[in-house]
Amino acid sequence: MKPLLRLLPYLAKYKRTLFVGFLTVVGSNIFTVLPPLFIGEAIDLLKEGLEAKSIGGTDLVTYAVGIVVFFLIAGTFTFFTRQTLIVVSRHIEYDLRNDFLSHIQKLSLSFYQNTPTGDLMAHATNDISAVRNCLGPGIMYPTDTILAFTMVIAMMLRIDWELTLLAMIPLPFVSFAVYRLGKVVHKKFEERQKQYGEMTTRAQENLSGIRVVKAYVREEYETGLFRTMSFEYLKKNLVLARVQSIMWPLMFLLVGLSLVITIYFGGLKVIANELSVGGLTKFLIYLTMLIWPMIAFGWVINILQQGAASMDRLAKIFDTKPEVQDAEQTDHTITEIKGAIEFRNVSFTHKGAVRASLSDINLMVPKGATLAVIGYTGAGKSTFVNLIPRLYDATSGDVLIDGRNVKEIPLEVLRRNIGYVPQETFLFSDSLAENISYGTDNGTEEHVRDAAEISQIARDISDFPLGYATMLGERGITLSGGQKQRTSIARAVMRKPKILILDDALSAVDTYTEEEILKRLRRIMKDRTSIIISHRISTVKNADMIVVMDDGKIVERGTHDELVERGGVYAELHQKQLLEQELENL
């Protein structure tokens, strides 16, 4: 139950409403425990009347009206109990869900590389719902149960303390059974949630990779695999249901034992004239009123165990600290950057990796210059540019912008001034206009069109029936690879960034379109810094400086002509691509 203590700040936010809810629970129980007194008195009155051959009708009507009125008042209080405590649980669910999304948005890139999306989806749906359930019924029923139990036991002791103690004999066994079964429920619920996360991950990957599944004719294989995982989830659900199903009959059995004890020993007391028939009736009614608290007690333990298991899973996410974040050295007086970049003895190793991705990088890129990065696959080019917007932090050495360590620049300021087009372009299931203007809050339709013109996607958009209002499929699936890249470039350009990073963002574009895009980019990026990663010599040849990376190191640097004359890796790539072009022309 310890994980549930983390919910106290959420409960504190609604303490007034919870207090009102507590008062309604008290009112409901007070007016629920009083009617049996009237029933007992009415039965004794009937007995006396039958023995005396005359019944006081007026007294019976008074008792009947009193019983109805009290139950109506109790029902009204119960209604307001649900309107306060259950509604609060929905508000807390809303707060918790928002906090969860806000937190995972702050986590570093490495977190997402090691956490399945389906797992996060399971946290955001099933786990938060389970926590909400323990905050609604999990608060209302324990409060109601404890108050009802206390008041009913008090009434029973008032009627006959000896009979009460006898009737209470089975109750310790109830507590023990609930404790033991509760621990099993907690464990089985955690296992079920874990399986649900794995199943959700598989389903999400299937839907995202549907083109690959179809291309390799793996529909039956994937269906079979999902069926197996789904069956495992079914089995874990059945095991959990089996454990939970033991608790309810056990409650009935133990309360039933109390009834048997009461009827036997209470009957003996009535025969001995130590207790009236009405008194025994009141006692039996109160004892039956304990059935629901006993059952609710077991049910609530189930809910709380499930909520604790889910909160424990959520807590692991909430306790994950972003590896990249603003720290004590962050200077919040910095509100903008100009774009001069410097790498000083920078090295970087991914967590858990055996070898470094970058080693001893030293480089200066003046403000307004265009840097091109080229090299074979796996040379460390993407890792190199990922250090600039602090998607990762350098393992050693310093990355500086305008002479300040990037760790001193507030993350929001740093990233707001960088336009970044990664290798894997991502578009949202929204209109083209919304995708292009994503990341800017004050972009106009004219700005969207200008950005589309620069990236050369404008002519394609003009061919779509709905133009910029065209809705895209998931991840932009309705566009070709080149169209997606150009839309992503338009999105980056729309921000008018001080630093523009294109990570192999022109690989799916033909050479003519590439030249047109670069020509326009040179114009709008004048006095701004550009970094272009590419495998094509044609993309990088006009850059102010070209660096060649190999095995995480800068092995060559210079202009296009200088590098060709040097006869190194760059010259080798240049010769290969010239040869490939000649073969294509032939």
**What tens digit of pLDDT does each residue of 571-581 get?**
888 888 778 77
The residue among 269, 292, 31 whose CA lies nearest residue 164 is: 269
Per-residue confidence band for 1, with pLDDT thresholds at 50, 70 and 90: low
C-alpha torsion 425→428→434→435, nearest 10: 0
Give the Cα separation of 327 and 323 in Å (integer). Answer: 11
In the predicted structure, residue 205 carries a pLDDT above the cut 80: no
Find the farthest-apart pair of alpha carbons in the chain and give their distance in angstroms, rounded.
Answer: 127
Residues 145, 249 within the same domain: yes
Rg for the chain, CA atoms, rounded: 36
Residues 486, 545 within the same domain: no
At 109, the amino acid letter reads L
Strand order in the sheet with 358-365: 358-365, 341-348, 396-401, 404-405
Question: Residue written as tokens 């304990």?
Answer: 290
Residues 259, 110 within the same domain: yes
Neighbours of 270 (CB within 10 A): 15
Q: What angle do CA 148, 149, 154 make, to 5 degrees?
A: 100
Domain boundary among 318, 336, 371: 318
Domain boundary among 288, 318, 348: 318
Residue 222 belongs to a domain with what CATH number? Answer: 1.20.1560.10
Residue 485 belongs to a domain with what CATH number? Answer: 3.40.50.300
Kindly state the average pLDDT of the residues 123-138: 82
DSSP bridge partners of 556:
548
In a domain, 442, yes or no: yes
Contact of 144 with 101, CB cutoff 8 Å: no
Residues 312, 334 within the same domain: no
The residue among 511, 513, 462, 453 whose CA lies nearest residue 487 is: 453
In a domain, 149, yes or no: yes
List the single range of 10-24, 49-63, 486-500, 543-557 with lowest mean pLDDT. Answer: 49-63
Instruction: List C-alpha distances in Å: 240 to 243, 295, 458.
Output: 5, 18, 57
Which residue range forms the structural domain that includes residue 552?
Answer: 324-417+499-559
Residues 332, 455 within the same domain: no
**What are 237-244's contacts with CB under 8 Å, separation 24+?**
237/192, 239/188, 239/191, 240/185, 240/188, 240/189, 240/192, 243/181, 243/184, 243/185, 243/188, 244/185, 244/302
Contact of 135 with 104, CB cutoff 8 Å: no
pTM metric for this prediction: 0.71
More confident residue, 583 or 535: 535
Q: What is the DSSP letter of 320?
A: P
Give the Cα separation of 561 and 585 in Å (integer). Answer: 24
- Quote the pLDDT of residue 49: 61
Question: Residue written as tokens 């809303």?
Answer: 94
C-alpha torsion 564→568→570→574, nearest 10: 60
In a domain, 538, yes or no: yes
Residues 6+ apart with CB under 8 A from 454: 489, 490, 493, 517, 520, 521, 524
In a domain, 566, yes or no: no
In a domain, 329, yes or no: yes
Residues 84, 164 within the same domain: yes
Query: Which tokens sit at 541?
Result: 């040849």
Task: Tell me the HSE value of 166 on the side-chain side, using a 13 A CA sphere.
Answer: 15
Q: What angle do CA 99, 101, 107 make, to 5 degrees?
A: 105
DSSP bridge partners of 499:
418, 529
Residues 485, 364 within the same domain: no
Q: Count the domains in the chain.
A: 3
Query: Which tokens sit at 101?
Result: 């999304």
Residues 532, 396 within the same domain: yes
Contact of 214 with 205, CB cutoff 8 Å: no
In a domain, 166, yes or no: yes
Give the Cα separation of 344 and 397 in Å (integer). Answer: 6
In a domain, 194, yes or no: yes
* 563: exposed, middle or buried (Cβ count in 10 Å: 0-12, 13-18, 19+): buried
More confident residue, 214 or 418: 418
The residue among 512, 444, 462, 452 whose CA lies nearest residue 485 is: 452
Residues in the chain: 586
- Quote the pLDDT of residue 48: 66
Residues 345, 395 within the same domain: yes
Give the Cα separation of 557 and 161 in Å (integer). Answer: 95
Per-residue confidence band for 264, with pLDDT thresholds at 50, 70 and 90: confident
Q: What is the DSSP letter of 502?
A: E
In the predicted structure, residue 343 carries a pLDDT above the cut 90: yes
pLDDT tens-digit map of 481-500: 888 888 888 888 888 889 99
Residues 200, 347 within the same domain: no
- Quote the pLDDT of residue 51: 54
Residues 33, 160 within the same domain: yes
- Quote the pLDDT of residue 399: 92
The residue among 397, 409, 374 whose CA lies nearest residue 548 is: 374
In a domain, 212, yes or no: yes
Instruction: List C-alpha distances in Å: 506 to 220, 488, 535.
Output: 36, 10, 10
Percent of the chain with pLDDT over 70: 95
Residues 328, 200 within the same domain: no
Per-residue confidence band for 586, with pLDDT thresholds at 50, 70 and 90: low
